Structure 1
């Protein structure tokens, strides 16, 4: 198919704020992209060029509108998730970003309960390759299963009931979703971390497009076949050179506007840092049995609501009289500087930084280890260490101030110098 001449993106487009779009945005698991207004996105006028399959031309603006207006409520399929963030390894085979401990915020307070904790499973998705089976039937019925060789982990949301089940430990975590709205419908699971509730290409696409602004170039870059379906490829690139993000490519179903694949590639090149895509997908209504769950015989059941209430009472007792977040705010709190892809979050230090290798005893050992995974840097702000992954870098100064963002090392140093 020959490439068509690009047309101007005008300010007359209403950003998809039609009644149909407002309807789509109401749901928790629709594929509509909320909050996307082309007038605020730095769209580069472009059309789908030649490629396979041969599809009608479409502009980037119209493709975003197609995503936003998509009102698909029912689907099932298999999603392949591959993550390579370049997290540094820790002694014992762990990695930065993992966590342990037996008490979890979702009420799983013992070893088996922690095994079924959605928070723990979210951390597992932060590295390596994983296969997910997903199903959705409107806002009140969803299921996500992480399939391993030896076990399966599932989260099932059905009306006001939420279950998380780990077959490896034969443990289930149960809670009730809170109803909202005048009708009491559209229950939302309160225990599930965002990364598990939004583990599909369409949810990642939604977040990427929400972040787009005048610092972003958006084009249509050819076509593709994904999960046996024809798709356009939406290409998103930061215009800000200090960003560590090279590009985001979103394959969009040509028929219904559902994002089928999401690929984030670092500016440094190499394999994708995040690659999430359907390997098969069906837009028919899933069987009702997909959302039914009864704990198997002999399974340990953790009632998360009761455990959470108990943990909150203990927390209130342990921290009675402390100011908590207000104390954090008094010390300077969290602040965000910059905009777009080069936004940097800062936390003001309390004057005590990281241990140094020259320190004695355990502090010195910790300092030497930090030196092995971080780079020492200096500037008019003083000195500190930069800890890097393929996407996110963090500068921790010697006085404990933290600068972190998906930006290169020099951008962090410049931010620290400017704040001096």
Structure 2
């Protein structure tokens, strides 16, 4: 099938790893960073795939930058992205612990996560920076990774990243605001548990990251009951030999909002000397025991669940040290290796909206892996340079896949249609 170049301007266009299609599948959203790790985009945009019409969704002001935009799965004109600090200075400039999420809707802007960095801290507020915000299937809950300013300032932790969620319709007001503190439209809590120095050979982790919602409606437990809300993430363990080993963990989340207000062993909002803690009853559970191989960190990818919640897909090296695609049940058990070729997977991946297949870059081509047939189908020609690794994203109807290539020194967005197959 022929790929089509969607963007043509002589500037960079950066897709996020998932949720880049509008709900109707007609437009793509992106920022204008020159590279994934350089947060210098001043605006976020959308482009109508068929016509090429570009619309600026939001432009930052006062020296701030924005990026990593994702689209609401059900509402066309609703988005969330990272927003850096306005009027940055030597004490507060863009960093992992100095950023926030913003909801963009019908021209309006509201801050997602409240920030309170001076004690006493506020329940439902965070104390640092949020990153890569992902809507749940309905779009009412949002997951993200989080870095804490208070602990960083006290040199207690350097990058003890955690996973957090934002719950809707419960705005948080920070009283007696100090500079850089602000209110938030959502109630936010950390749901992972990290340890500064994990015990070797234990299930303790130093970081939690690259999370993904489980299923469109959760998953079915061994008991036959449905767990409506759950998140999988990569947790960095330490092996008995003292080596860092990334493994997959899961947290089951309550449905009732009141459960998120009940503290467990430690305060949900954190203390001057302790990170914010998960509410009572939220306990992370380890899924993979990879015998030292660990989940692959390169290419960088995010855990992605099949729509029915039965499989969590991830990348890991096989016995020949080739990066392959694997899946594991949210109930645990042995991982299943899907791809088996001599060429390693080169990118992040996404699922077909009905769970029929996954798409990613392999051997410098955008491909589809058919779950039922166990075969890999190339969609684009093999090129001397591979498509960009950060994003290969299936459209909501399953009829198109978006990805990026570097063309003439600029990162451009491409689309390949799948309508000639049976995917849509």
Confirm or deny a common fold (TM above 0.5): no
Q: TM-score, normalised by structure 1?
A: 0.24
Higher strand share: 2
Q: TM-score, normalised by structure 2?
A: 0.24
Higher Cα radius of gyration = 1
Higher helix share: 1
